[in-house]
Amino acid sequence: MPELPEMENYRILLSKFIVNRPITSVAINREKSINMPVPAILNQMQNATIIRIERRAKHLLFHLSNQKILLLHLMLGGWMFYGSEEEKPKRTIQVQLSFGNNHLCFIGLRLGYLHLLTQAECEERLKELGPEPLDTRFKEEIFINIIKTRRGALKLKLVDQHFISGIGNCYSDEICYEAQLLPTRKLEDLKDLEVKNLYHSMQKTLAAATNIGGYMDHPLYVDDTKTGSYNDLCKVYDREGEACQRCQNKIMMIKISSKKSFYCPGCQF
């Protein structure tokens, strides 16, 4: 599932292509991917322009010129492609936004969605999300205070969107590895220095993955060499049986409340 770095990469790249460009047509091939009847959403999006793209946690918010917001969550298996009719992948496209001769295709939206909402509806939908870990206002002291009010396994809390937003299975493992902490460690048992190290590991890992382009497999457009570049740089995620880059022990995989977690038993404590 795309996480914060993947969605931020999408936001940055798409902003160059579609912001301030009018939507010339909309095609809905799967009504379950949207939140209203097809004629209604087509009517409300007619002649609209995307004026800016915002990311919140694992969501993208496409702000429209008619004061509405298209709220996107790709969920498991969802991805996007932008290009001409000839360049489009030979895959089932659930929703397509056209901008003249180029199209933004939403693919794999079996669990994901693209909902048209008012500003108030969007705020209500997202109000329970935790703080953004890369927000400049999210200081170390704030993180320390949040940790003091939570209990439970580190892995499970990192992927809890009410705790910290935008982190999922991949980056929770990478953050734990960077901090040299076992994903099974309890928040309430972490020492002060470990909490501070966890904060800086989270900042470092997410920023690096975002700058590199995240781990998504599919390029956003033809000749996109950035998207997915972090996939080969993961230290532990999906690396079961491989040698740890830090201590050469074999990476292991366990399940924590049904969630897969990859870690190194030699240098995570």
Q: What is the pLDDT of residues 96-140, one digit of tens each?
A: 999 999 999 999 999 999 999 999 999 999 999 999 999 999 999
**Positions of the chain with pLDDT under 70:** none
pTM (2 d.p.): 0.96
Q: Give the DSSP letter string of 190-223.
A: --HHHHHHHHHHHHHHHHHHHHHT-S-SS-SSTT
At residue 217, the pLDDT reads 86
